[in-house]
Amino acid sequence: MSDPADSQPAAPLRLVDVQVAVAAELDRIGEVIDDLGAAFTEAGHELALVGGPVRDAMLGRRSNDLDFTTSARPEQSERILRAWGDAWWDMGRAFGTIGARKGEWVVEVTTYRSEAYDPDSRKPEVEYGDSLAGDLGRRDFTVNAMAIRLPGREIVDPHGGVLDLAHRVLRTPGTPEQSFSDDPLRMMRAARFAAQLGFDVDEDVVRAMTEMAGRIEIISAERVRDELVKLICAPTPRPGLALLVDTGLADHVLPELPALKLERDEHHRHKDVYDHTLTVLEQAIDLEPRLAERADITAPDFVSRFAALMHDVGKPRTRKFTGDGTVTFHHHDVVGAKITRKRMRALKFSNDEVDAVTKLVELHLRFHGYGTGEWTDSAVRRYVRDAGDQLERLHVLTRADCTTRNKRKADRLRRTYDDLEARIERLAGEEELAAIRPDLDGNQIMEILGIGPGREVGTAYKWLLELRLDNGPMSTEDATAALKQWWAAGGGAAPEPPPQD
C-alpha cells in the first residue's frame, strides 16, 4: 500500500526554484522553440509555447511533445511547418491545430482561439482570436494559462498561474462558473490534475463543480472516457476520484463508485466498501511492477487499475442482512462483472478492454476457494484456463484485494497466494498451462470415431479438454483409449430427458 506520507500536502514551491527549472527546460528545448519562433516571426506571425509544457517546465518535468499558440491561421501554420519539419499533419484543422514532427520532437501549433458550448451542444464552437491574452483567458486553469513568447522567451502570466503553481492550487482564469459553462469537461480535468499533479482545488472551483455537476451530461461519452482514463492512470488517482464523488460528478460519469458508500448501522457491520475499493486501487498500483514482464502491458496499466476500482460494484445489489447481524454479498462477483460491462460499453471502451476488465471482476473471488491449499491440480489448471491472458493481472488484483489490518491474517493470505502461484509455475513448466488444449485435435477425433464434421466432434473436443484439465497431459494412446471408451458409453449421444414424476 502507498505510504501515508505520500498523501500529505506537498510544500509550496519557491519562486526561485520555478525560475531555475523553467530556464533549464527552455535551454533543453531551445533548438526547437527558438528555431520555430524565428520561422513564425519571419513570416509575420506571433508564436508562444503554451499550456502543459510551460507548466511542466516550471515543475522541472521534461517532455518532447510541445504545444504552441499563434496568430497565424491554420493554412499559414501549415506552410511554415511543412518547411520546418520532417512530417506534418492536420487532423486537428477543424480546431485550428496543425501538427509536425522534427527528429524526436513533436509539436502542435494552434491558432489563437476562444471556444464555448451552446447549452445543448456536445461540441465546442471554435472561433479564432487575435491576441495571446485572449487565448490564455479561455483556458481551463491558471497553471495552464501561462505562455512563453518566442523567440524572446518572455513569460506571459496574466492570471497568476506562477503563484498558483508555487502554492499547488487549481483556480480558473475567470469565474469557475463561466469556465465550466464554456466546457463542462473542465470539471473532470480539475479532478484529473488533482491526481496528476497533487494540487489542491480552490474552494470556489469545488463549489462550482458541485453546483454544475449535471452539466457534464452534455459531454460525449468518448471525451468523458478519455478524461477518466487519464485520471485513473495518474500517479495518485484517489484524490481525484474522491473529488468526483464529493462534488456529485461521479453520479453522472461513474455512478457505481459513489454507490459503494453503503449505509451502515450499529446492528449490521461490514467493511467500508468505498474506502476498501480505493485502498485496493492504491495497492494494485503498488503491485504494477509485477506486470513488467508482459510486453503487451505498459505502466500505468488502466485495465488492472479499473478492475480494482470496479471489483466490488456488485455489492450494493447483492447485500443481504442475516439474523445474526452479519452481512452477505453472495455472487457480487458475477453481478459486478455485468455492471462493469454495461458501464464500460456506455463509456465506449473497446471490446478488448471491456472483456479484460469484466473477466478480472468476475474472477476476483476465485482464489478464496483455495482455502489453505486444498485445490487439486485440476482446480489450479481451471484457474489458469479461466484467467487466460489476464492471469498476471488477476494475481495483482487478488493480492491487492487484501486490505485487512490483521497482520497475521494478511500474512496468511499472502503465503497462501504465494503457494498458488508456485503451483501454477510448477504446472506451467510441466504442462504448458498457457496453451491448455485437448490431447487430440478435431481431425484425430473424427478419424478415431469414424465420424464427419458436426456437433459430435465439438462435444468430444470439450470432453477431452475437461479430461485434460482433470488428469494433466496424456499420451496419444491413452487419450485415444479414453475417447473410445467414452464414445462407446454413449458420450456423443443427446442427453436423455429428465424423468417424469
Do 135 and 34 fall within a single domain? yes
Q: Please give the pLDDT value at position 1.
A: 43
Indicate whether 495 belongs to any domain: no
Q: Please give the pLDDT value at position 16.
A: 83
Owning domain of residue 457: 442-488
Do 396 and 283 fall within a single domain? yes
Q: Tens of pLDDT along 414-434?
A: 999 999 999 888 887 665 655
Indicate whether 320 belongs to any domain: yes
3-state secondary structure of 248: coil
Element (H, E) at 67: strand 65-70
Average pLDDT over residues 265-283: 78
- Backbone phi, then psi, for 458, in 5-degree steps? -65, -40
Do 19 and 127 fall within a single domain? yes
The domain that holds 140 is classified in CATH as 3.30.460.10
Q: Residue 287's closest CA among 277, 273, 274, 301?
A: 301
Q: Considering the chain, what percentage of its residues have pLDDT values greater than 70?
A: 90
How far apart CA 383 and CA 123 sit, in angstroms, is 46
Q: Please give the pLDDT value at position 496.
A: 43
Element (H, E) at 323: none
How far apart CA 111 and CA 80 sit, in angstroms, is 13
Q: Residue 436's closest CA among 398, 364, 388?
A: 388
Q: Tens of pLDDT along 310-339?
A: 999 999 999 988 877 788 889 999 999 999
Q: Does the structure show a pLDDT above 50 at 498?
A: no
Residue 19 Cα distances to 54, 64, 213, angstroms: 12, 20, 37
Which residues are paired to 105 by β-bridges? 102
Indicate whether 497 belongs to any domain: no
Q: Please give the pLDDT value at position 270.
A: 54
Greater pLDDT, 146 or 496: 146
Q: Tens of pLDDT along 162-176?
A: 999 999 999 999 999
Indicate whether 493 belongs to any domain: no
Indicate whether 430 belongs to any domain: yes
Q: What is the CA radius of gyration of the chain?
A: 29
Q: Please give the pLDDT value at position 452.
A: 86
Do 359 and 425 fall within a single domain? yes
Do 24 and 108 fall within a single domain? yes
Q: Please give the pLDDT value at position 194.
A: 95
Do 372 and 272 fall within a single domain? yes
Give pTM, 2 decimals.
Answer: 0.82
Do 236 and 300 fall within a single domain? no
Q: Does the structure show a pLDDT above 90 at 55?
A: yes
Q: Count up the domains in the chain and report the number.
A: 4
Do 233 and 273 fall within a single domain? no
Do 232 and 321 fall within a single domain? no
Indicate whether 496 belongs to any domain: no
Do 10 and 92 fall within a single domain? yes
4 Cβ contact list (under 8 Å, min separation 6): none
**Of the residues 152, 167, 182, which one is the last residue of a structural domain?**
167
**Which region among 68-77, 263-272, 328-337 has the lowest average model confidence (pLDDT)?**
263-272
Indicate whether 494 belongs to any domain: no
Do 226 and 361 fall within a single domain? no
Do 351 and 446 fall within a single domain? no
Greater pLDDT, 358 or 298: 358
- DSSP label at 324? T
Q: Does the structure show a pLDDT above 80 at 210?
A: yes
Greater pLDDT, 495 or 49: 49
Taking each helix axis from N to C end, the angle separating 476-488 and 455-471, rounded to the nearest 10 degrees, works out to: 120
